[in-house]
Amino acid sequence: MKFTKMQAFGNDYVYIDAIHQNITNLPELARFVSDRHFAIGSDGMVLICPSDKGDFRMRMFNPDGSEGEMCGNALRSVGKYVYDHKLTDKTELVIETLGGMQHLNLTVTDGLVSNIRADIGEPRLNTKVIPVNTNLDQFVEQPVEVLDKTFHITAVSWGNPHCAMFVDSVADLDVERYGKTIEHMTSLFPNKTNVTFAEFVKRDYIKIREWERGTGETIGCGTGCSTAVVAGVLTGRTDRKVTVEQIGGPLLIEWDEKTNHLFMTGPSHTVFEAEIDASHVLEKLLLFTRELGICCQVVRQRLNFVNSSRNLISGLPCRMYGGFSWFEVVH
């Protein structure tokens, strides 16, 4: 399997051309390639796929195998990937994601993309959309008790749930302890959440540290930076154009008052390109399918499979079987 390792402010993903390669067993593959000890190592896996709605479709997977809706740094890197690999010659792109249609503007220098401006649309503040379990329409600067601290949290969605809170010092905060707890606070965030801890420096400059849902702490997160700026504006702390310092470097965020759209601008870099033998991962799906097929044959025999029982078989829950229904596998 051919892949490209890319990073944007240290937010590193394994990028795979799924247009010219047949990629299967995606959750298991994501867990494999993301392993920093036994495989490539990354904050996750991104597939570049064809789209009938935009120029390309982006699918991103976290290291735990879960599929994320959107990632700003990954989105910008996809723009660089498709241009540098000559999958397109356009410098204005529309990318389909689970979080919606995203727009990119590419700056090209000496035939390669040197900077990417992403329009990630309007921040979604409605608590039913994010979602947040609350009677409030918006969740802005709300006090939430987390272990031994009270954080004032603002919740936003970019197609994936985020929350941000300002603290005295991001350097001194135990990000893993509090980030992990907030991520899994499903009584408040039923779909879990990405967590951004922000530190005010001045009205046009803040610092953040990010705890990403399904990943852990990362040294760069575009939508995390965006969430921090939205929280800063809504609480009167910051201007609408802010440089956000991540561990991996500064990202320029602008929340345009006229359009209500948020723009992030910064570079992305190719680390290396290579090929890895992932056949043992990809073949697991084929083995699983064969084993499940045998199992289904036994079930069919025991149920004396006839037309009247087809509805029963096809109606059995199938999520625990990797998305296959009994009927689909048998036939």
What is the distance between the alpha carbons of residues 126 and 114, in angstroms, rounded to a whole number? 35
pLDDT of residue 293: 52
CATH number for region 142-260: 3.10.310.10
pLDDT at 253 over 50: yes
Signed CA dihedral, 125, 127, 128, 131: sign only = positive
- Summarize the confidence of residues 255-270 as an average pLDDT: 96
Say yes or no to pLDDT of 48 above 80. yes
> Residue 280 — φ and ψ, nearest 5°?
-65, -30
Task: Give the lowest-confidence range in 165-169, 209-213, 326-330.
Answer: 326-330
| Res. 10: pLDDT tops 60 | yes
**Amino acid 301: pLDDT:** 46
At residue 279 the predicted structure's pLDDT band, cuts being 50, 70 and 90, is confident
Q: Measure the CA–CA gap between 213 and 163, rounded to whole angstroms.
A: 11
- The whole-chain average pLDDT of the chain stands at 88
Where exactly are the structural domains of the chain? Answer: 2-121+271-275, 142-260, 293-330
Residue 135 carries which side chain, given as an amino acid letter? N
Q: Between 121 and 331, whose confidence is greater?
A: 121
Average pLDDT over residues 253-260: 97
- Asked if residue 297 has pLDDT above 60, the reply is no
pLDDT tens readout for residues 67-110: 998 999 999 999 999 999 999 999 999 999 998 999 999 999 99
**pLDDT exceeds 80 at position 308:** no
Tell me the sheet residues that pair with 266.
Answer: 116
Q: Summarize the confidence of residues 164-191 as an average pLDDT.
A: 98
pLDDT score recorded for residue 178: 98
- For 116, how many CA atoms within 13 A lie in the half-sphere containing its CB? 31
CATH of the domain spanning 2-121+271-275: 3.10.310.10
DSSP characters over 94-139: EEEETTEEEEEEEEEETTEEEEEEEE----B-BTTTTT--SS-SB-
Confidence class for position 291, pLDDT limits 50, 70, 90: low
CA–CA dist 283, 287 (Å, integer): 6
For 106-165, the pLDDT digits (tens) are 999 999 999 999 999 999 999 999 999 999 999 999 999 999 999 999 999 999 999 999
Q: What is the mean pLDDT of residues 32-57?
A: 96
The percentage of the chain sitting over the pLDDT mark of 70, rounded to a whole number, equals 85
- Residue 282 has what pLDDT? 67
**pTM of this structure:** 0.77
Distance between CA atoms of residues 191 and 161, nearest Å: 8
Q: 2-121+271-275 with 142-260: one CATH topology?
A: yes
Q: Which residues are catalytic?
A: 71, 221
